[in-house]
Amino acid sequence: MPNWVYTDPEIFARENERIFGANDWLYVCLEAEIPKPGDFQRSQLGTREVVAVRGRDGEINVLLNSCAHRGMQFCVSDHGSAKEFICPYHQWTYDLAGNLLGVPFRRGYRGQGGMEADFRPEAHGLQRLAVTCRHGVVFASFGAPNQSLETYLGPDMLGWFDRVFDGRDLVVLGHMRQRIASNWKLMFENIKDPYHASLLHVFLVTFGLFRLDQQSAIEMDDTGRHGALVSRRGEQKLNEATAQMSAFRQDLRLADPRLLEPVKEYPGEITVVLQTLWPNLIVQQQSNGLAMRQIVPIDAQNFDLVWTHFTYADDPPEMIQRRLRQANLFGPAGLVSADDGEAMILSQAGIAGSDDAECLVEMGGREVANAPHTVTETAIRGFYQHYRAVMGL
Ligand code: FES
Ligand SMILES: [Fe+2]
């Protein structure tokens, strides 16, 4: 893997066009963030900003946050409720579907100025993206996808997706947002790399939340672009595997064990599913911690990670408390995730200035295939197999 894929501004521009700006389905937000007509939520797809808004008919529109007049971002609140959108600059007014309703001084003033007689407001609405929703999750595309979301995910990935999004209504518990000084692809690599999890994370390893001696697997769709890392919880005990992990600390105890104390809520024995959905979403189910992690590229060497923690609308208060406590593992200062943020920053710093050098992704072999264990980088290879096809590299 050449280092320039993480540093070259031209590669970044091509990614923005071919990956974020084409026919793929990109994660936008949860429907629970915009429950009522008029509710809106801003989001970023690649480097472009959009506004997801629920129209009067209950349908969700995703509009480019760029006025049809001079391109200004017309929506400046992160979220809220609106009857219509009025661009602050010259107050062009749009309805919730992005149609242009009004242009001040369209016919000039006292017979002078104004728009030409052939100006047609219907030709100057906001850019509207293709939208699809599944079980409360909103996706959009700048292009004209010829695949349903279900086909795009493929049957196996759809199965993992529906495990968390089973049709129950969702409620948002809160957001976290952090800027990480690394290329956006390193975030996907991090989640597709279970090899590090047993070595880097004292918290995961010690308390048995994820470790290579536990039953686990890597799955991908046919293209390799989407993946799922699945695992089953273990114990804090010394064995042949943990003996090799310097991060394993038998002497550590939680002062308040309620921080973990997971309860089983899904069928089967699996307790962790981290799903990476091309090109901008990680669905996280670790114990009872549920979150969307949206990847927002800023430039070749920076991205934002936006966390949306959620719960089911029918959850009792104790479960909500449990999810909130477990949320301490995640985010910029999370007991686990802080390690990953630091690792990505140090990775980017380590490759800076060595654009033509290469790094190695050969753990577990050189092929791309599902694996019934996690001592492998196969999912990273799968990601780049698809990446190269899309990018023409
Ligand atoms: S830029 Fe929006 S009204 Fe002029
Ligand atoms: Fe990690």
72 pocket-lining for ligand 1 (C-beta < 6 Å): yes
Please check whether residue 25 is in contact with residue 132, taking contact to mean a CB–CB distance below 8 angstroms. yes
Give the torsion sign (CA, 278, 279, 281, 287): positive
CA angle 224-226-232, nearest 5°? 110
User: For the whole model, what pTM was predicted?
Assistant: 0.96
Quote the crossing angle between the two packed helices 9-18 and 378-391, to the nearest 10°: 80
What is the Cα–Cα distance from 193 to 361, expressed in whole angstroms? Answer: 10
- State residue 273's pLDDT score: 96
Nearest CA to ligand 1 atom 1: 70
Query: Which pair of tokens denotes residue 360?
Result: 């190695």
CB atoms inside a 10 Å sphere around CB 82 = 16
- State residue 244's pLDDT score: 80
75 pocket-lining for ligand 1 (C-beta < 6 Å): no
Best of 70, 85, 103 for a ligand 1 pocket test (most atoms within 8 Å of beta carbon): 70
Report how far ligand 2's centroid is from the alpha carbon of 290 (Å): 16
Written as one letter, the residue type at 378 is: T
Nearest-atom number in ligand 1 for the CA of 90 is 3
92 pocket-lining for ligand 1 (C-beta < 6 Å): yes
What is the Cα–Cα distance from 297 to 315, expressed in whole angstroms? Answer: 34
- State residue 246's pLDDT score: 80
Nearest-atom number in ligand 1 for the CA of 92 is 3
Residue 358 pairs in a beta bridge with 2
- State residue 305's pLDDT score: 98
Q: For residue 37, with 0-12 CB atoms within 10 Å meaning exposed, 13-18 middle and 19 or more buried, which class applies?
A: middle
Report how far ligand 2's centroid is from the alpha carbon of 205 (Å): 11
Contacts of 211 (CB under 8 A, 6+ apart): 197, 198, 204, 205, 234, 241, 242, 245
CA dihedral angle for residue 276, residue 279, residue 281, residue 287, rounded to 10 degrees: 0
Please check whether residue 284 is in contact with residue 291, taking contact to mean a CB–CB distance below 8 angstroms. yes
Nearest-atom number in ligand 1 for the CA of 72 is 1
- State residue 241's pLDDT score: 81
Ranges of the chain whose pLDDT falls below 50 = none
Report how far ligand 1's centroid is from the alpha carbon of 103 (Å): 9
In 3D space, the residue among 294, 287, 280, 160 whose CA is nearest the CA of residue 228 turns out to be: 160
What is the Cα–Cα distance from 131 to 336, expressed in whole angstroms? Answer: 34
Nearest CA to ligand 1 atom 4: 90
- State residue 339's pLDDT score: 96
- Burial annotation 340-372 (CB, 10 A radius, 16+ → b, else e): bbebbeebbeebeeeeeeeeebebbeeebeebe
- State residue 64's pLDDT score: 98
73 pocket-lining for ligand 1 (C-beta < 6 Å): no
